[in-house]
Chains A and B, each alone.
Chain A
Amino acid sequence: MVRMGQDDQAAIRAILAGDKEAYGALVARHASSLFRVAFRITGNEADADDVVQEAFLRGYRKLEGFESRSNFGTWIYRIAVRCALDRIGGKKVDESRRVAEAPDLEQDQVQVADAAAGPDRLLLSGEIGALQEAAMRSLTATERTAFVLRHLEDCTTGEIGAALGIGPNAAKQAVFRAVQKLRLRLAPLRVRI
């Protein structure tokens, strides 16, 4: 890790000295981890690829402001989170329409298959996945990102706040709201199962 940090610092010095190609090494080193978090936030492979490219572009432009004491991996990770947040936030208008047009909770209860139906397990699994996806889409961009970072990326509220540009308490509240909304959306599923 220390070795990687030293390599990153050397590459950054080279880039700022005019060696653009040195940035390729940084991209190759951190692209996969950025794709992982981008995919978890956007839930879409193509969007995740776009987020990775956008993050590295932003990172390159802001490289002069990068403090050498910081870790490049953490820094570019935060940029990727912001890019992903911007991307799902930009789609929020369409998504909110979809959520508004979604069936109400009573209707959800009717649609979900009964676990006792045995042969319909696969169908049930697919419906649960669809319901979870719908629940995730009901969240705001900030709530969704905060939840993903907390639940899947094991980030602390301080790290989430730093990535989203908000305070730790605001990050914690975003996680609380996300969990509450998700549980509310999944309540019919719990009743039927």
Chain B
Amino acid sequence: MNHLKEEELIEHYYSRGEGGDAAQEHLEQCARCAEAFKALEDDLSEFADVEPPARDAGYGERVWQAISGTLPAYEARKRSWLHINLWQGLSYAAACLLLVGVAFFAGRQWEHKQVQSAVKSQPPPVQQPVIPTQPRERVVVVVLSDHLDRSERLLVELKHADADSEETVSPLRDEARSLLAANRICRQDARKSDDPDLARALENLDRVLAKVANHPGRMDAADLTRLQEEMNADGLLFEVRVLRSRIPNRQGAKAARTEGGEI
């Protein structure tokens, strides 16, 4: 059996009556510890309360009179100002945080709803090809028209070019290189749109542009004459002019087909 230590006896002495004390059970079974506890009780009972000297009803008043002269009055305004400002500041900060939070949440919700409504308002799948196709073809038509204009100008300048002048031939070569890339795109589009006349004319144009653009070194009079003959032989300039004049009609026909839903 483990006997109670002095600390445990002291703890038990002061916590008696609080219940749940295992020390009490031990003391009832252990004579040695019970004897030690009795000695502790005897010792501590010697320190009985000495009744403090009585103080009459006027004691508090006398204490107040003794100290009141040294006490400064609180400054109500200063105190309340600090107090109110502190709480006001905290309240404003909390309100701002709440406002920012609500605004953020509302923004997220609004954005979410916008995306959902955009998805819902999309046209049905049947109509989908109509809308994107129409602008795409219009862009190609505009580019083709522009391309034919530039090509016509180039061919006219080439027709009247002077082979002895480098200042005339060199810009033509640069322009031909630029037109060559655009011509290939237009030619591919003509094939796709099943327009054999346009495709053939663009092929002829491509051949001339390639020769001008890729001609090595300085273009002499013989080269220039050969190109001019080829142009005339094929009637390329005339063909380009005819095609360019067809563009508005061709655009109108396409638009009519689009409205009819044939595309």
Residues of chain A having any CB pair with chain B under 8 Å: 15-21, 23-24, 27-32, 35-36, 39-40, 45, 48-49, 52-53, 56-57, 60, 63-64, 128, 132, 150-152, 172, 175-176, 179-180, 182-183, 186, 189-190
Residues of chain B having any CB pair with chain A under 8 Å: 6-7, 10-11, 14, 39-40, 42-44, 46-47, 49-50, 52-53, 55, 59-61, 63-64, 66-68, 70-76, 79-80
Which residues does chain B contribute within 8 Å of A52, judged by CB atoms?
A: 63
Query: Are the C-beta atoms of B63 and A17 separated by less than 8 Å?
Result: no
Given contacts A15-B74, A35-B59, A53-B63, contact A132 B14 (CB under 8 A): no
Task: List 23 interface pairs A-B (beta carbons < 8 Å), by A numbering.
Answer: A15-B74, A17-B74, A17-B76, A24-B68, A27-B60, A27-B61, A28-B64, A31-B55, A53-B63, A57-B70, A60-B67, A63-B74, A132-B46, A175-B14, A176-B6, A176-B11, A179-B10, A179-B40, A180-B6, A183-B40, A186-B43, A186-B46, A189-B46
Contact pick for B73, options A20, A24, A30, A186, CB 8 Å: A20
Query: Are the C-beta atoms of A20 and B74 separated by less than 8 Å?
Result: yes
Contact pick for B42, options A28, A53, A190, CB 8 Å: A190
Sorted nearest first, the 9 A-B pairs with minimum C-beta distance are A28-B60, A18-B76, A31-B60, A39-B52, A20-B73, A27-B64, A24-B64, A17-B76, A31-B63
Contact pick for B67, options A21, A57, A152, A179, CB 8 Å: A57
Query: Are the C-beta atoms of B60 and A16 separated by less than 8 Å?
Result: no
Which residues does chain B contribute within 8 Å of A186, judged by CB atoms?
A: 43, 46
Chain B residue at smallest Cβ distance from A129: B50
Contact pick for B52, options A36, A57, A176, CB 8 Å: A36
Query: Are the C-beta atoms of A40 and B74 separated by less than 8 Å?
Result: no
Q: How far is the CA of A48 from the CA of B67 in the complex (A)?
A: 15
Query: Are the C-beta atoms of B68 and A20 separated by less than 8 Å?
Result: yes
Given contacts A24-B61, A27-B64, A36-B52, contact A151 B70 (CB under 8 A): no
Given contacts A17-B80, A60-B71, contact A175 B10 (CB under 8 A): yes
Contact pick for A45, options B42, B53, B67, B72, CB 8 Å: B53
Which residues does chain A contribute within 8 Å of B60, judged by CB atoms?
A: 27-32
Chain A residue at smallest Cβ distance from B50: A40
Which residues does chain A contribute within 8 Å of B79, judged by CB atoms?
A: 16-17, 64
Query: Are the C-beta atoms of A53 and B74 separated by less than 8 Å?
Result: no
Which residues does chain B contribute within 8 Å of A172, judged by CB atoms?
A: 11
Contact pick for A152, options B49, B61, B71, CB 8 Å: B49
Contact pick for A31, options B11, B39, B59, CB 8 Å: B59
Q: How far is the CA of A47 from the CA of B127 in the complex (A)?
A: 101
What's the nearest-Cβ distance from chain A to residue B106, in Å?
37
Chain A residue at smallest Cβ distance from B66: A53
Further 12 A-B residue pairs, CB within 8 A, beyond A56-B63, A57-B70, A176-B6 = A19-B73, A29-B60, A39-B53, A53-B66, A56-B64, A64-B79, A128-B46, A151-B44, A180-B6, A182-B43, A182-B47, A190-B42
Q: How far is the CA of A146 from the CA of B220 in the complex (A)?
A: 120
Q: How far is the CA of A190 from the CA of B61 in the complex (A)?
A: 45
What's the nearest-Cβ distance from chain A to residue B201, in Å?
96
Query: Are the C-beta atoms of A18 and B74 separated by less than 8 Å?
Result: yes
Which residues does chain B contribute within 8 Å of A183, judged by CB atoms?
A: 40, 43
Which residues does chain A contribute within 8 Å of B70, judged by CB atoms?
A: 57
Contact pick for B7, options A32, A45, A176, CB 8 Å: A176
Chain B residue at smallest Cβ distance from A27: B64
Which residues does chain B contribute within 8 Å of A152, judged by CB atoms?
A: 47, 49
Which of B10, B53, B60 has its CB near the most chain A CB atoms (within 10 A)?
Answer: B60
Q: How far is the CA of A85 from the CA of B39 in the complex (A)?
A: 29
What's the nearest-Cβ distance from chain B to residue A73, in Å?
13
Q: How far is the CA of A27 from the CA of B71 in the complex (A)?
A: 13
Chain A residue at smallest Cβ distance from B80: A17
